[in-house]
């Protein structure tokens, strides 16, 4: 079960992870993008944490929608719209009551669908989808095997990290990296990398319960 406290912990853990990995995200983005992914994510999540000090949501869904709205309004480039859309769509798909793990999975799939629609990205395009999709598949597999939220989130985090690493040999077909053509091969996608941080933060928060 995810309640508001757990959702806040997830967001705080994500902000801490982005802070710790900001330089790496920027280095990855400097190879195939605008060299601003780390800074943009850090700025957005700093704004999210500031907003959370005064926001009093009535549900997990409301909290995540607010996170997404803040990201969209405070982050330039592609990261704000993509992550903001993911959080907003996830929050909007959640029930009013605290969601169980299966309901969270359904909502996260809605978030991924919204990201794919916004960016027109498919698996193999060398985007955040390449980490997001395997993470949700692993999450679902663990739930079907009888695992709880913590176990499912842990498997999702591993799968997201593997998905991010698997972008290295891919040629980018979406976003600024696609302009490089074959020169994008050999570099890990920064969006997939930050997506791995997203699921790592969820695993951390769920394990702490």
Q: Which are the contacts of 198, defined by CB distance < 8 A and separation ≥ 6?
A: 14, 83, 160
Residue 76: pLDDT over 80: no
**pLDDT at position 175:** 83
Q: What is the pLDDT of residue 8?
A: 97
Question: Residue 152 has what pLDDT?
Answer: 98
- Average pLDDT of every residue of the chain: 96
Q: How far is CA 160 from the centre of its chain?
A: 10
Task: For residue range 100-129, list pLDDT tens digits in order.
Answer: 999 999 999 999 999 999 999 999 999 999
Note the pLDDT of residue 28.
Answer: 96
Among residues 136, 144, 148, the alpha carbon closest in space to that of 199 is found at 136
Q: Which of 176, 192, 205, 180 is nearest to 25 (CA)?
A: 192
Alpha helix (H) residue ranges in the chain? 4-32, 37-52, 60-74, 79-93, 101-119, 129-144, 149-165, 190-207
Render pLDDT for 17-66 as a digit per residue (tens, 0 to 9): 999 999 999 999 999 988 999 999 999 999 999 999 999 999 999 999 99
Could you give the domains of the chain?
4-207 (1.25.40.340)
Average pLDDT score over residue span 161-165: 98
pTM of the entire structure?
Answer: 0.96
Calculate mean pLDDT across residues 179-190. Answer: 93
Looking at residue 176, the DSSP 8-state letter turns out to be G
Residue 77 has pLDDT above 80, yes or no: no
């Amino acid at each position: 079960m995810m309640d508001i406290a757990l959702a806040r912990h997830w967001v705080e853990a994500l902000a801490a992870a982005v802070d710790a990995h900001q330089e790496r995200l920027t280095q990855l983005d400097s190879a195939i993008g605008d060299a601003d992914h780390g800074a943009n994510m850090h700025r957005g999540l700093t704004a999210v944490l500031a907003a959370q000090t005064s926001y009093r949501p009535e549900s997990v869904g409301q909290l995540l929608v607010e996170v997404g709205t803040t990201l969209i309004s405070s982050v330039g480039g592609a990261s704000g719209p993509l992550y903001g859309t993911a959080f907003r769509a996830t929050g909007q798909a959640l029930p009013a009551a605290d969601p169980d793990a299966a309901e969270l999975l359904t909502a996260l799939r809605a978030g991924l669908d919204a990201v794919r629609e916004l960016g027109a990205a498919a698996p193999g395009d060398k985007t955040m989808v390449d980490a997001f999709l395997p993470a949700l598949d692993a999450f679902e597999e663990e739930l079907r095997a009888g695992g709880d939220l913590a176990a499912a989130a842990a498997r999702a985090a591993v799968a997201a990290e593997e998905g991010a690493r698997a972008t290295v040999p891919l040629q980018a077909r979406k976003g600024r990296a696609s302009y490089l053509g074959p020169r994008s091969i050999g570099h890990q996608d920064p969006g997939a990398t930050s997506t791995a941080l997203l699921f790592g933060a969820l695993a951390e928060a769920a394990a702490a319960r």
